[in-house]
Amino acid sequence: QKEVEQNSGPLSVPEGAIASLNCTYSDRVSQSFFWYRQYSGKSPELIMSIYSNGDKEDGRFTAQLNKASQYVSLLIRDSQPSDSATYLCAVNTGGRGSTLGRLYFGRGTQLTVWP
Amino acid sequence: KAGVTQTPRYLIKTRGQQVTLSCSPISGHRSVSWYQQTPGQGLQFLFEYFSETQRNKGNFPGRFSGRQFSNSRSEMNVSTLELGDSALYLCASRRGGETGELFFGEGSRLTVL
C-alpha cells in the first residue's frame, strides 16, 4: 500500500509570509515527486517536480526532498492571495525516464493567504 | 502549445446508463492516464495507457474501461452507472521516456442521478 500523507490544514498565512506545506510517503522506492496546485473548481496544475535530495527553487517556490526521511515539502515565499488553493503532493515510483508508473496523491492541503 | 483537451466538460446521466469520455493529450505526449476525483476519496488512479497498451490499472471495478488510439487520443467508458460514480474525471498526459511530469486536462464532471 503506497500512501502519501499531507498536513491536513487548512493553512492560513498573511500576505507576504512564507507558507510551508509538508508531505510524507510510505514507499521507499519512490523516485519522482511533484507538487500540484488546484484552485476550486479547476483541475490540478503542476508547479514543481523534484527528483534528487536537496532543494529546488523556481521563483517564489522551493521544493525540498529528503529521501532518507521520506519527506518532501513545498515553501512558498512572499505568499500572495492568488496562492490560495489546495496543494497536492504526488509521488511516482518510476525514475525520471520512466514511461510507466502512476502518481499517488495526498489528500491535499488547503492554503488561504489573507491580505 | 495546446494542453490536454477533455470532452464533454459536463454531463448528467441516470443510474444504469453508460458514458464515454474523451481525451486528447498534449501534442507529442504518448502516455495518457485517467483519474477520478471526489471530495471523499481525493484523486484516485484509474488506468494508464502508452502506445495503445494499458500499462497500469487502479482498483476500480470492471465497469470502468479505457482505450488509446494510434494518435494517442484516449477514451474511458463507465458502464452501468451508479450514484457513486459522480465525480470529476481527469485525463492527464506525459511525454513518456523523458519525464514523469503529468499535465492534466480541465476534466469531465459527471453527475449520476
Report chain B's mean pLDDT, rounded to a whole number: 93
Any chain A CB within 8 A of the CB of B98? yes
Residue A98, pLDDT score: 53
Asked if residues A43 and B106 have their Cβ atoms less than 8 Å apart, the reply is yes
pLDDT at A24: 95
Partners of A94 on chain B (C-beta within 8 Å) are 100
Report, as an integer, the average pLDDT of A96-110: 77
Instruction: Check pLDDT > 90 for residue A87.
Output: yes
Q: Pairing between strand B42-50 and B31-38?
A: antiparallel
Residue B66: band (very low, low, confident or very high) from pLDDT cuts 50, 70, 90: very high
Chain A residues touching B90 at Cβ < 8 A? 43-44
User: Rounded mean pLDDT of chain A?
Assistant: 90
Pairwise CB contact (< 8 Å): B45 & A102? yes
Round to whole Å and give the CA distance between A102 and A87.
18
CA distance A91 to A27: 9
Q: Which residue of B has its CA nearest to A88?
A: B43
Residue A74 pLDDT exceeds 90: yes
